[in-house]
């Protein structure tokens, strides 16, 4: 390898088409805008991805603008300069966590390939400790919900989006079809803490094992009360964007939902895992609508987490990479170097 060769960065927008219109308590959509990134060095190519659902602040335009500012002329050795590159990218502009995650993921994939080692191994993960993966079902009519449950046959746990008028109907419909354990994500949909308490008691009876973001993100007082009641473990998603939020939410929730697109990538997520463990918090690693690229990046850290919700590629029609392999309800980590992902033929 020519060590003096510069790193080359390319990127292009991509619309990830969803199999089903995706509805949560705030909105619904049919595709999710991505930015696909490639880092090239010494004949190796590392893949990265930014996923930018419309309710967050990033877009393909903002990502293009951010990534265009990156000048890699000072970097010729990704192995020794990984930290420097990531710090440089981080310092270009505040915000832009998904665009920064794309760079971080591509750099991890590239370095894994150059060193001929899988990313999960570089990160110290033990594949034997991989938790079950869950599949998220968006809110829909009972007939469509039935079809979605059947489609998610490979999964041993389902995550249900609640937070509408029909919460009990949705759960009862699912319970007519399957007795799999359920995670619930209310996406801030419950506005009254007494109602939320009652719902959590009812859900527990129905075989729900955790609840994500039951109430509005800024209502930490209500969340703290729910945590105190110890009905079901609660996880912060919208209330938890990145590591700087940890001190303010640690008393209000039992755990955090880490997403690479919120926190800025693999390195940031690994740091959150270390810090959250010190606070005895539980960890769920989740995703946006993402291709196999960002999903396998999160999967590399998943054995260090308690719960895994990495279903992105299974809910889309045009994954640009081969789907992750699921076995016994768990994502299989590949022994291939880097993220272990293969591009689908165009």
Q: How far is the CB of 282 from Mg ion (least distance, A)?
A: 15
Query: In angstroms, what is the minimal distance from the CB of 307 to Mg ion?
Result: 12
- Backbone dihedral angles phi then psi of residue 25, each to the nearest 5 degrees: -70, -15
Do the beta carbons of residue 106 and residue 100 sit within 8 Å?
A: no
Indicate the helix (H) or strand (E) that contains 220: helix 220-229
CB-nearer residue toward Mg ion: 212 or 219: 212
* Residue among 284, 215, 283, 286 at smallest CA distance from 252: 215
Least distance between Mg ion and beta carbon 344 (Å): 28
In the complex, the smallest distance separating the C-beta of residue 286 from Mg ion, rounded to whole angstroms, is 6
Q: Nearest 5°: phi and psi at 198?
A: -60, -45
Q: Which is nearer to Mg ion, 140 or 212 (CB)?
A: 212
The residues with which 48 forms a beta bridge, in sequence order, are 37
Q: Which of 21, 114, 131, 52 is nearest to 290 (CA)?
A: 52
Q: Which is nearer to Mg ion, 107 or 200 (CB)?
A: 200
What is the contact surface with Mg ion in residues (CB under 5 A)?
185, 212, 237
Beta pairing partners, 234: 211
In whole angstroms, the minimum distance from the beta carbon of 165 to Mg ion comes to 19
Q: Which residue(s) pair with 182 in the sheet? A: 158, 208
Q: Which is closer to Mg ion, CB of 58 or CB of 237?
A: 237
Give, for 121, the enclosing helix (H) or strand (E): helix 119-122
**Between 237 and 290, CB nearer to Mg ion:** 237
Q: Which is nearer to Mg ion, 38 or 219 (CB)?
A: 219
**Min CB(336)–Mg ion separation in Å:** 30
Say how far apart CA 37 and CA 72 lie, in whole Å.
14
Q: CB of 26: closest distance to Mg ion in angstroms?
A: 11
Which residue's Cβ lies closest to Mg ion? Answer: 237
Pick between residue 237 and residue 311 the one whose CB is nearest to Mg ion.
237
Which of 254, 256, 287, 213 has its CA nearest to residue 32? 287
C-beta separation of 188 from 163 below 8 A: yes
- Those residues whose C-beta lies under 8 Å from the C-beta of residue 325, and which sit 6 or more positions away, are 331, 332, 334
């Amino acid at each position: 390898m020519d060590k003096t060769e510069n790193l080359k960065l390319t990127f292009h927008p991509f619309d990830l088409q969803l199999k089903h219109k995706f509805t949560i308590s705030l909105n619904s959509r049919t595709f999710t805008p991505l930015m696909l990134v490639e880092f090239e060095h010494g004949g190796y190519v590392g893949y990265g991805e930014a996923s930018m659902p419309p309710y967050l602040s990033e877009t393909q335009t903002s990502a293009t603008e951010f990534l265009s500012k990156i000048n890699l002329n000072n970097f010729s050795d990704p192995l020794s300069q990984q930290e420097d590159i990531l710090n440089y990218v981080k310092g270009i502009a505040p915000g832009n966590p998904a665009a920064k995650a794309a760079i971080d993921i591509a750099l991890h994939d590239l370095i894994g390939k150059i060193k001929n080692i899988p990313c999960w191994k570089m990160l110290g993960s033990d594949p034997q400790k991989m938790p079950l993966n869950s599949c998220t079902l968006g809110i829909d009519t009972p007939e469509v919900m039935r079809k979605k449950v059947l489609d998610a046959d490979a999964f041993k746990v389902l995550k249900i989006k609640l937070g509408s008028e029909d919460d009990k109907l949705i759960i009862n419909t699912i319970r007519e079809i399957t007795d799999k354990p359920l995670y619930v994500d209310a996406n801030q949909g419950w506005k009254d803490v007494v109602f939320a308490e009652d719902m959590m008691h009812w859900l527990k009876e129905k075989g729900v094992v955790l609840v994500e973001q039951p109430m509005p993100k800024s209502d930490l007082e209500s969340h703290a009360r729910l945590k105190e009641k110890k009905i079901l473990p609660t996880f912060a998603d919208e209330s938890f964007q990145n590591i700087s939020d940890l001190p303010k939410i640690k008393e209000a929730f039992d755990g955090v939902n880490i997403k690479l697109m919120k926190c800025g990538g693999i390195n940031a997520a690994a740091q959150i895992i270390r810090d959250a463990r010190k606070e005895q918090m539980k960890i769920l690693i989740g995703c946006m609508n993402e291709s196999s690229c960002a999903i396998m990046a999160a999967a590399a850290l998943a054995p260090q987490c308690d719960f895994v919700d990495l279903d992105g590629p299974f809910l889309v029609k045009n994954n640009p990479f081969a789907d992750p392999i699921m076995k016994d309800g768990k994502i299989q980590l590949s022994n291939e170097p880097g993220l272990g992902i293969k591009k689908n033929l165009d």
